[in-house]
Chain A
Amino acid sequence: MANPKKQKMSRRKFLGISSCALTTAVVGSQVKVLKALAKSGDISEPVAAITKDVYTSCGMCVNKCGVIARVRDGVIHKLDPNPNFFPKSRGMLCARGNAGTKVVYDPDRLKYPLIRVGERGEGKWRRASWEEALDMVTNNMNQIAEKYNRASMMFASTEGTFSEHFFLQLAECYGTPNTLRHPTLCLSSNIQGFSATFGTNPTPDVKNADYIIMSGANRAEALMTPDSIDMIKTDGGGRRKLVYLDPRFTKTAAKADEWYPIKPGTDMAFILALINVIITEGLYDDDFIEENTVGFEQLAQHIKQYSPGWAATECDIPAKDIRRIAHEFANAAPSAVYYQGRRSSFFQNDTQMRRAMAILNAIVGAWDTKGGLLPNKKIALTKHDYLAPWYDDVPDRLDKGGVTYLSEKDGSWPVFRDRALAADPYPIKGMMVYKQNVLVSVPDRAKSLELMKQMDFICTIDITMSDTAWYSDVVLPEATYLERLDPPENLSGPVPVVAFRQPCVEAMFESKTNFWIMQQLAKRLGPEIAETFDFTMEEHIHHMLKKKPEIYDALFGKGVYYEDTEPEYGRLKGKRLRTRSGKIELYSEKYAKKGLDPLPVYKSPDKVPTNMYRLLVGRHAYFTHGTTANNALLHDLMPENTLWLAPSEARKLRLKNGQMVKVKSKVGEEKLKLEITEKIRPDSVYMAHGFGVLSKGLSNIAGVGGSDAALIESKYCPISGNCAMHETFVQITPA
């Protein structure tokens, strides 16, 4: 398999002669024809065109599956799964993973640095040299630092790139605390709720669990990774069972043993009722609770109010089913999990809802045991240390104190944006974006546009012309994940592995790696910052692996490094957890001290107003976040999104299947096609995320669906800062 040092050769230097795969290497003098073509001087011996298999990692979603790129005649011909040990990919690639070549060979990929010449968003661009574009970026960054403050620059980025840390490093070294990462658009309430209970956000051992309950975690669609199959695999009525709660009949619902169309926002009531049954009927694991938890007494008291009868009216799930499920769950335990889901940006009570899940798992002893929740492990890599320059007058993060637990690096998008719009307590005037499609992924697009309008300068680094790139001043083309040498990435989990990326082909056009871009910007920002980036990627990799040099050979030799192939159950037995008490906190003293509910307290979701519907959003199997919507191979599978509405409601509104409808919320209005379907509750409507590209006139381009970000109000969980994406009501009228 390819080693970047040995095989870094230019496709252009080794021209493939169609089928015979012999090429002519060019040496000696060159005589130009006009511009592109040059007459070669001497001709050396023919050499074989680049045909090789390259180990790397998928970059189409966060799962980072192992890939073998089949390079034929210098072109990536096909992507195959890496059959070597990869617990998350298991020798498989999903539809998106297979479509990865399209990212490289997309005629619409960003090719050259672009500089805006018309009004922002007007769509007038010109090409620029890297030199000019980079100078423009750093001149603007310096001006903003001088005119306002270094903190007036914000850096927004996304996960899964293996290079995001270089972007964050530049932000830190430039001197701004204002980095905005993706967790508050995704799973920060999950992390918060489970960490408050277990001291970590564990991984459910779904492969071995006999009983799995899921709340709206549509793993057969929203994040269909190869290991999702474990979650939806049942044994046809045998011991193994999947119970699935979702207001929609999703693909996961279709695979489940039982599906309940739960009233949106009431999952916590269902969970609390399960806990109620398990405690009142003595079905919990006494010894486990005694040894490993704190606060059971308080929990037992607290839970009394949440009977199955009460929950039934809240959730629209019969009390007898709740009771039976509680029994079945407790019987299967500890090989039973209430799966916490991935995206947890549903309701404002999300952190407490995830806490309820964590507590339920804990009282049946489904922790650190086969089929339960497993604490994650990591393979230690050496970190890249650097000394960020010190600036005296840089204030705290803009969103500091806006929510109870704010992650210093992630921030909270909705809180941050509101304060930035009010310049409270200081203005935000510059925006660096790395592959985050702010206008598509952050709820309430009108506010995001407002935010972008107030910027003195916006630079976006991406691989395609996203809506956000379109609203920028400078757009820099990044090399795609199949063209980059990326640092090793520690994929933590019950069975951790180290993965990496190496270039399968040379980066096309003038696209560059994020690392190169950061180095160039750092150089321009001054020697002190440049010094923190003064290494090559190869040096960086060797530094990271210096304690375990064998990882290097494993990565280049088989694409992955691992130490165990099975989880180590009972690994933390008798050890102190990373909670205040060192135990599993059923009752959270920490929350009590912060004035938060120490035990999850249920509050009914707001009632759906008459003539309105609750807007539900979700992802589907072909797209991940906003970033894959441009991919034509995937786009053919799902060219536009539709609005799901129940037949009874469609009749009331006199709407027909397939007609265009107007969807109006407090913050926006979108037009898209109506899909009348029994697959959704009558009180809700649904649309898939990631559609509805803006045009010059700020309206969506026809035939590409509607944007959920334009409709969702910017509500959020006050504990974690996570967006609450299912708390928007909409009206539907014919378009």
Chain B
Amino acid sequence: MLNLAERKKTYQIFSDLFRYPDQPSQAASAQSVADLSQLLHLDFPPELSQVPALREMEVAYTHLFVNSLGGTPAPPYGSVYLDAGNLLMGETSLKVEACYAAENLNLQGSDEPPDFLATELEFLYYLLDEEEAALAAGDTARQAELTNKQIVFFENYLSSWLPDFCERIAARSSDPFYLWIAEALQLFNRMEMALFEKVRKNSISELPTTS
């Protein structure tokens, strides 16, 4: 089971990887893959010992998530999977946005809809970061509140569409990099689900802070 810092880091890495790649993120991606592999105990295929060049990543990302003839294989937006009609800006998109607003967060740094995968992962990173701060300050009430927020957000707006999303990548992509990332995300999703399930069952009173 991952501890708080590890989970936070995992969310950060996934958030970075599901954003459109740029020079810095490409440069960091070798480390990201290595870190993810270690955190999730997931081997990566030998061809990923060298991460793809930026251009290749851009092409693969654009094909999978931005635009492609006949439709992008895996649109990275929650409402496409959660709401009726295969549309952007569905009801759940607004609810996601409201979750951000409730934390006094805005979307000034993005032209994407609120339920863009990378942003949702960023939000969970934020909640974990806050939890870490609460822990450091010994504020257990706040910590519990933040745990609860993670569960609510994760279960309502993210977890349930990730399997479909990752399977679409697996079905329509031959790019080893994103195939592996999708596999890793599937795995992490299951780990988080299991973790939250335990919290719910009160088998642990709070999320693990150290492993």
User: Which residues from chain A sit less than 8 Å from chain B, CB to CB?
Assistant: 12-13, 15-18, 23-24, 26, 30, 32-40, 43, 73-75, 101-102, 104-108, 110-112, 114, 117-118, 123-127, 465, 467, 470, 475, 508-510, 630, 632-633, 693-696, 701, 704
Residue in A74, A105, A117, A695 whose Cβ sees the most chain B Cβ within 10 Å: A105
A residues less than 8 Å from B108 (CB atoms) = 12, 26, 30, 38
B residues less than 8 Å from A124 (CB atoms) = 59, 63
Task: Check B77 against A107 for contact (C-beta < 8 Å).
Answer: yes
CB within 8 Å for A75 and B89 given contacts A36-B110, A37-B119, A127-B58: yes
A110 to B71, CA, bound (A): 10
Task: Check B88 against A107 for contact (C-beta < 8 Å).
Answer: yes
Say how far B76's CB is from chain A's closest CB, in angstroms: 9
Task: Check A17 against B67 for contact (C-beta < 8 Å).
Answer: no
Residue on B nearest A126 in the bound complex, by CB: B58
Residue on A nearest B69 in the bound complex, by CB: A470
- Cβ contacts A to B, 21 pairs, < 8 Å: A18-B98, A24-B101, A26-B106, A33-B122, A35-B109, A35-B122, A36-B112, A40-B105, A43-B104, A75-B94, A105-B89, A107-B75, A111-B66, A118-B59, A123-B63, A123-B69, A465-B68, A509-B112, A510-B111, A633-B85, A704-B70
Tell me whether B177 is interfacial, beta carbon within 8 Å: no
A222 to B108, CA, bound (A): 44
Tell me whether B44 is interfacial, beta carbon within 8 Å: no
Tell me whether B149 is interfacial, beta carbon within 8 Å: no
Tell me whether B153 is interfacial, beta carbon within 8 Å: no
A510 to B111, CA, bound (A): 7
Say how far A35's CB is from chain B's closest CB, in angstroms: 6
A residues less than 8 Å from B69 (CB atoms) = 123, 465, 467, 470, 693-696
Say how far A605's CB is from chain B's closest CB, in angstroms: 36
Say how far B203's CB is from chain A's closest CB, in angstroms: 31
Starting from the known contacts A18-B95, A101-B87, 5 additional A-B residue pairs (CB-CB under 8 Å) come to A33-B129, A35-B110, A36-B122, A117-B59, A126-B58
A66 to B68, CA, bound (A): 32
A43 to B101, CA, bound (A): 11
A15 to B106, CA, bound (A): 8
When A and B form their complex, what is the total count of cross-chain residue pairs whose Cβ atoms lie within 8 Å? 156
Task: Check B105 against A39 for contact (C-beta < 8 Å).
Answer: yes
A39 to B107, CA, bound (A): 9
Task: Check B68 against A105 for contact (C-beta < 8 Å).
Answer: no
A608 to B109, CA, bound (A): 63
Binary contact readout B69-108 vs A (1 if CB under 8 angstroms, 0 otherwise): 1111001010010000111111001110110111011111
A390 to B67, CA, bound (A): 39
Task: Check B126 against A33 for contact (C-beta < 8 Å).
Answer: yes
Tell me whether B140 is interfacial, beta carbon within 8 Å: no
Task: Check B59 against A125 for contact (C-beta < 8 Å).
Answer: yes
CB within 8 Å for A34 and B12 given contacts A26-B106, A117-B59, A126-B58: yes
Residue on A nearest B71 in the bound complex, by CB: A108
Say how far A169's CB is from chain B's closest CB, in angstroms: 28
A30 to B123, CA, bound (A): 16
Say how far A531's CB is from chain B's closest CB, in angstroms: 31
A residues less than 8 Å from B89 (CB atoms) = 75, 104-105, 508
A residues less than 8 Å from B105 (CB atoms) = 33, 37-40
A704 to B69, CA, bound (A): 12
Say how far B89's CB is from chain A's closest CB, in angstroms: 5
B residues less than 8 Å from A465 (CB atoms) = 67-69
CB within 8 Å for A37 and B126 given contacts A123-B68, A508-B88: yes
Task: Check B106 against A34 for contact (C-beta < 8 Å).
Answer: no
Task: Check B15 against A106 for contact (C-beta < 8 Å).
Answer: no
B residues less than 8 Å from A13 (CB atoms) = 106
A residues less than 8 Å from B88 (CB atoms) = 104-107, 508
Say how far B195's CB is from chain A's closest CB, in angstroms: 22
CB within 8 Å for A37 and B59 given contacts A75-B94, A108-B67, A123-B69: no
Task: Check B106 against A30 for contact (C-beta < 8 Å).
Answer: yes
A residues less than 8 Å from B109 (CB atoms) = 32, 35-38
Tell me whether B142 is interfacial, beta carbon within 8 Å: no
Say how far A61's CB is from chain B's closest CB, in angstroms: 21
A residues less than 8 Å from B12 (CB atoms) = 34
Binary contact readout B99-139 vs A (1 if CB under 8 angstroms, 0 otherwise): 01110111111111100101100110110010000000000
Task: Check B98 against A17 for contact (C-beta < 8 Å).
Answer: yes
Please provide the 10 A-B residue pairs with the shortest distance between their CB atoms, ordered closest to farther. Answer: A36-B110, A107-B75, A126-B58, A15-B101, A105-B87, A105-B88, A36-B119, A18-B98, A17-B98, A470-B69
Say how far B111's CB is from chain A's closest CB, in angstroms: 5
Tell me whether B3 is interfacial, beta carbon within 8 Å: no
A123 to B129, CA, bound (A): 40
A residues less than 8 Å from B63 (CB atoms) = 123-125
Residue on A nearest B54 in the bound complex, by CB: A126
Task: Check A125 against B104 for contact (C-beta < 8 Å).
Answer: no
Residue in B94, B113, B116 whose Cβ sees the most chain A Cβ within 10 Å: B94
Residue in A18, A26, A124 whose Cβ sees the most chain B Cβ within 10 Å: A18
Task: Check B100 against A15 for contact (C-beta < 8 Å).
Answer: yes
A667 to B77, CA, bound (A): 42
CB within 8 Å for A36 and B59 given contacts A18-B98, A24-B101, A693-B70: no
A688 to B192, CA, bound (A): 49
Say how far A436's CB is from chain B's closest CB, in angstroms: 17
Tell me whether B31 is interfacial, beta carbon within 8 Å: no
B residues less than 8 Å from A32 (CB atoms) = 109
